[in-house]
Structure 1
Amino acid sequence: MTKQEQLKMHLYELYAHNPFVNLLQMKIEELGEGTVKLSMPVLADKHTNLYNMAHGGALASLADTAMGMACATTGKKVVTLDMNLNYIRGVECQEAIIATGTLIHNGRSTMVAEAEIVNSSRNLLVKARATFFVTGTFL
């Protein structure tokens, strides 16, 4: 088994047991080096605000997780230093939205990633960008 395959297995296992990821019902759909796709349902009893639309915090959590995982696919452990989100359109309850996290800078002490969240019709819902601090390595 290659080091990249070991890392992938480790990340699947790590995120499968993450309480916050499980609370929001995020699922890994695809995992590659420097990129990740996550899905999350938007459920009325879990992910919505008082207007029955996706809560901005749930969307921010999905984007942050996707970008952090994109960083983690390089074998580096990171924490978020700064994050910017643009909420493009309201998100109604639905089976799943998809977040794609992409690494755009892989530095020694900091990393930068972007995320896009879309619905099943591929309409852009959220665009995000974040800077992460490298705290160590996996494996």
Structure 2
Amino acid sequence: MQNQSYDEVKFVEIKNDGLDRAVFDKIVWINNKMNFQNHVGVEVKEVGKGYAILQLKFNEEHANTIGIAHGGVTATLLDAAMGTAAFTTGKDVVTLEMKVNFLAPGKIGSVATAEGRVLHYGNKTIVTEGKIFDENGGLMALATGTYFVMK
């Protein structure tokens, strides 16, 4: 997807929960262009004002040396969820800071669902929270993130 124009990017099935169409289209386009996120297998499922829901199926490529999902993969999913939530404000953002608490292991072969939410929307920064749940609804990880608003 690297050298594709806006019109050439394949739009994926993402539920739009009331976002302005221009903001929604931009989020879809941005997420299609996130090469690392796409390489890992992160999928955006739903976006609405101030929130985003994403999923990732943990596979063998995501495993660490003890056979569970590597913390970097979990952090990537959280950053993607929180960043996508920040994008629902209509602003361009980049990650400034994030803190992750790992609470339970990601099991290889399972699907993790991440929820990102905007907690504070300022002129220069957007503060978010992210949570990852396992297939049974158990909390696997939580994070806070600060995103810099590009001018």
Partner of 2:35: 19
The residue aligned with 1:124 is 139
Alignment of structure 1 residues 47-86 onto 2, 5 Å: 47-86=62-101
Letter in 2 for 1:23: H
Which structure has more RCO (C-alpha within 8 Å, separation ≥ 6)? 1
1:28 maps to what in 2? 44
In the alignment, structure 1 residue 99 sits paired with structure 2 residue 106 = no
- CA apart distance, 1:98: 0.4
Structure 2 residue matching 1:108: 3-state secondary structure: coil
- Alpha-carbon separation, structure 1, partners of 2:111 and 2:19: 31
1:12 aligned partner, one-letter code:
V
Identity of aligned residues (%): 31
Consecutive unaligned residues in structure 2, runs of 5 or more: 1-17
Aligned length: 134
Greater strand fraction, Structure 1 or Structure 2:
1
Equivalents in 2 of 1:6, 1:81: separation in Å? 25
Q: Aligned to 1:94, what secondary structure does the other structure show?
A: coil
Please say if residues 46 and 54 of structure 2, whose CA atoms lie closer than 8 Å, have aligned partners that are also in contact: yes
Q: What is the TM-score of this pair, normalised by structure 2?
A: 0.84
Q: Contact 2:19–2:48 at 8 Å: present in 1 too?
A: no
- Pick which of 29-38 and 14-23 moved more: 14-23
